Amino acid sequence: MRRKVVSVMLAAAMCASMTACGGGSSAPAESKAETQAPAAEGGEAQAPAEGGEAKEGGSSGAAVRVCVVYTGNLGDKSYNDSCNMGAQKAVEDFGIELKSLEGTTAEEWEANLVAACEEGYDLIIGASSNIADYITEHGPNYPDTKFAVIDTTVDLPNVESISFAQNQGSFLAGAAAALFTQKTDIKNVNEEHIIGWVGGMDIPVLHDFYTGYEQGAKYVDPDIQILQAFAGTWTDPLKGKELTLAQYEQGADIVMNVASGTGVGILEAAKEADKYAIGVDLDQDKDQPGHVLTSMVKRVDNACYLVIESVVNGTFEGGSTKYLSLTEGGVSLTDFSVMKEALGDQFPQDIVDTCEELAEKIKSGEIVVENYEGFGPQA
């Protein structure tokens, strides 16, 4: 089957805040709003804007039962919390019944998906690419169930896939990091041009992040050295801290976090070492103020909200892929305002100006950001 690729203009439907992984506590949560959006300390990304009434021909919101299957836990201040924000907004706007199933192992992810299928939910959302194989295996057995998968593509008629141009947002993050490591007048920025990157699990979507990060950094400085590491987990902040401290010891001034709950430790390491980091998925700039240069926000909240809205309105498109790029507002950098406040007159405004220029060049097609194999608008 040829999959139809749908470009979605987020700005028309969503509010102006900005948002790989999966990680953070345990145990399933169920609600009409029983799964409350975590208070992601320091993160200011908002949930999607007010939704509309169900369109004629769609289901009434009260009749729609939605289950979100997470490959980690809520409370990660990142990817999973962003997804939950979108789901909670749908509870508020449409009165849906919502259940969240959390798990940290492949066995739990599959068991949770099968349990949701057996319980007869109208829509089951696989909140990360780790769920894709299980939807591919079990989805055909439940043809009347609608599925959505985020961060990858599943080619089934009852599945809507939602992917992001995380490579584009990461290009900007890499460029910002490469520019920042040249600012030796800033405290603890050394003479060596070395930056770091720490991911959670070693999965393809994180390689798409890294592909963009590397290209953006080398666009600024072809000779820059980039340190890369994977924690192998979404839920181990201590491991994230350990890997990040090791990169600082090897000369990195700034490290990008792409590790969900594990990333809490990455940001803590930046403060502990009096160094710098880049956040991911949600706005993490205030999580360790003065140590987070910016965050590469990925609007997972909008993805979750939009697919729920489509089921409520009767416009769900199984067999389609939505690809949310820089142009659609699917990814972006935060505005650097927290770091501006921390550094005062020392803040390097040229980093902001350059990143804005690069973003426009990406949108216009002047700069084409490479994808990891299997990713991109035509994947």
Query: Mean pLDDT across the stretch 288-300?
Result: 97
pLDDT of 240 reads: 99
Tell me how far apart the alpha carbons of residues 128 and 117 are, in angstroms, rounded to a whole number.
17
In the structure, what pLDDT confidence band is assigned to residue 48 with cuts at 50, 70 and 90? low
Cut 0.95: pTM above it: no
Alpha-carbon torsion angle 35, 41, 42, 47, nearest 10: 10
29 DSSP β-pair partners: 100
pLDDT digits (tens, 9 = 90+) for 201-223: 999 999 999 999 999 999 999 99
Pick the closest to residue 303 from 97, 6, 1, 32 (CA basis): 6
Share of the chain above pLDDT 70, in %: 83
In the structure, what pLDDT confidence band is assigned to residue 195 with cuts at 50, 70 and 90? very high
Give me the domains of the chain, ranges plus CATH numbers. 4-164+299-324 (3.40.50.2300), 166-298+331-364 (3.40.50.2300)
Q: Which of 1-15, 116-130, 223-237 shows the lowest per-residue confidence on average (mean pLDDT)?
A: 1-15
Q: Which of 53-62, 189-198, 316-325 shows the lowest per-residue confidence on average (mean pLDDT)?
A: 53-62
pLDDT digits (tens, 9 = 90+) for 132-157: 999 999 999 999 999 999 988 999 99
The residue with greater pLDDT, 2 or 224, is 224
In the structure, what pLDDT confidence band is assigned to residue 377 with cuts at 50, 70 and 90? confident
Query: Mean pLDDT across the stretch 35-47?
Result: 38
Query: Mean pLDDT across the stretch 163-190?
Result: 98
In the structure, what pLDDT confidence band is assigned to residue 38 with cuts at 50, 70 and 90? very low
Alpha-carbon torsion angle 153, 154, 158, 160, nearest 10: -10
Tell me how far apart the alpha carbons of residues 70 and 52 are, in angstroms, rounded to a whole number.
27
Q: What's the mean per-residue pLDDT of the chain? A: 87
